[in-house]
Amino acid sequence: MVRLSALVCVQNQDAQLSECLRKLSFCDEVVVVADRCTDRSQEIARRHGAVVIDGIFPLENHRKQAGVDACTGEWILEIDPDELVDAALAWEIRCVLQMRPAGDWYELPIDNYVGPALVRDGWAGGLSARLEPRLYKRGLKAWEPRRLNAPAVLAGQSGGALKGAIRRSLGRDVGGLVERLNRLAALAAEDLADARADSGAKTAVPGGVARGVGAFLKGYVAKGGWREGRLGLLVAMLSGLLPLLAELRAADVLEARRAALAEPARPARIREVVGLGR
């Protein structure tokens, strides 16, 4: 039997974690990386029999590499806490691994849900994706140092894409999708601030506008968001807003960092103990 490890990285997502882990019972082991969690994520993971790596991981590649290092399986299945693997996909993964895999890694389709609605088309930019390399041999995948959507570098040969899809929940309703946009924009802003600080360049709002327009057109036109009605239009609009929001927030991050460096160090207060005699 080919040993399969599931890797889940979590940040205060205990409301979603239990169902996610329950759907991974077909794996030989589950490794959960709890990054700065202050909720019940670690407790829930241990209750489901997972190996828990608890720590502080500033970048996405840090937490994922820590998880990979803890995995003992020959193959790794990478899943997010807001994702579910149904029985059909679990069976397909096991069949592929047992019948002499045709490649060293596989892409898995992703079905994106906003509430109960499946939104198949229109995904562009960093809001979500439709296909990602999530099943791979241990040691063949690495990530660039980023907080958001760290680009993956894969060695070996691709085995193509599986037919079954991961079910990803992007929020209970449209408001949840907007909350996701805000979280992603905050992470992207930190990445932009790091890049600008290293190069000495200033934030480029016009560039963010241009990238946003490009993301909207790609999602709504090229990726077929128009076929999804109002939800497709919303997804394309939010995809277009992400680069602009990241640029605007990056300017705030850089200003806050400069202010912190410019603030003079406060001298330590010296307390004098005075003895009072009669």
Question: What CATH number should be reported for the domain holding residue 101?
Answer: 3.90.550.10
pLDDT in tens, 180-219: 999 999 999 988 888 887 666 666 788 888 988 999 999 9
Q: What are phi and psi of 211, to 5 degrees?
A: -65, -35
The confidence score (pLDDT) of residue 202 equals: 66
Assess whether 160 and 26 both reside in one domain: yes
Does the pTM surpass 0.75? The reply is yes
- What are the tens digits of pLDDT across the range 107-166? 999 999 999 999 998 887 788 889 999 999 999 999 989 888 888 899 999 999 999 999
How many independent structural domains does the chain possess?
Answer: 2
Query: Domain check: are 59 and 180 in the same one?
Result: no
Same domain, 135 and 45: yes
Question: Is 192 found in the same domain as 108?
Answer: no
Residue 274 in domain: no
pLDDT of residue 229: 93
What was the pLDDT predicted at 38? 93
CA diameter of the chain = 93
Same domain for 185 and 161, yes or no, is: no
Model confidence band, residue 272 (pLDDT cutoffs 50, 70, 90): very low
- Min mean pLDDT across 36-45, 83-92, 135-144, 248-257 is at 248-257
Token pair in block for residue 99:
């019948």
Q: CA–CA separation, 233 vs 236, rounded Å?
A: 5
Q: What is the pLDDT of residues 26-48, one digit of tens each?
A: 999 999 999 999 999 999 999 99
What is the average per-residue pLDDT within 80-93? 96
Place of tokens 């790091």: 194
Query: In this predicted structure, what is the pLDDT of residue 194?
Result: 87
Asked if residue 47 belongs to a domain, the reply is yes
> Is position 269 within any domain?
no
Shared domain for 162 and 185, answered yes or no, is no
Structural domain range at position 110: 4-144+155-169
| Pair 134, 207 in one domain | no
In this structure, is residue 272 part of a structural domain? no
In a domain, 273, yes or no: no
- 70 vs 66: CA distance, rounded Å: 6
Pair 221, 200 in one domain: yes
Sign of CA dihedral 110, 116, 120, 124: negative
8 A C-beta contact, residue 111 and residue 165: yes
| Closest C-alpha to 59, from 157, 143, 164 | 143
Judge if 202 and 128 occupy the same domain: no
Residue 245 lies in a domain: yes
Residue 98 and residue 184 in one domain: no
31 plus 131 within the same structural domain: yes
Examine the domain organization and report whether 121 and 84 are in the same domain.
yes
- Does 275 fall in a domain? no
Residues 202-226: b if buried by 16+ CB within 10 A, e if exposed: ebeeeebeebbebbbbbbbeebebe
pLDDT at 274 over 60: no
- What mean pLDDT comes out for the span 232-258? 89
Residue whose C-alpha is closest to residue 85's, from 24, 16, 34:
24
The closest alpha carbon to 156, from 97, 103, 106, belongs to: 103
Quick one: pLDDT at residue 8? 97
Q: Residue 268: what pLDDT?
A: 55
Per-residue pLDDT band for 265 (boundaries 50, 70, 90) equals: low
Q: Is residue 205 part of a domain?
A: yes
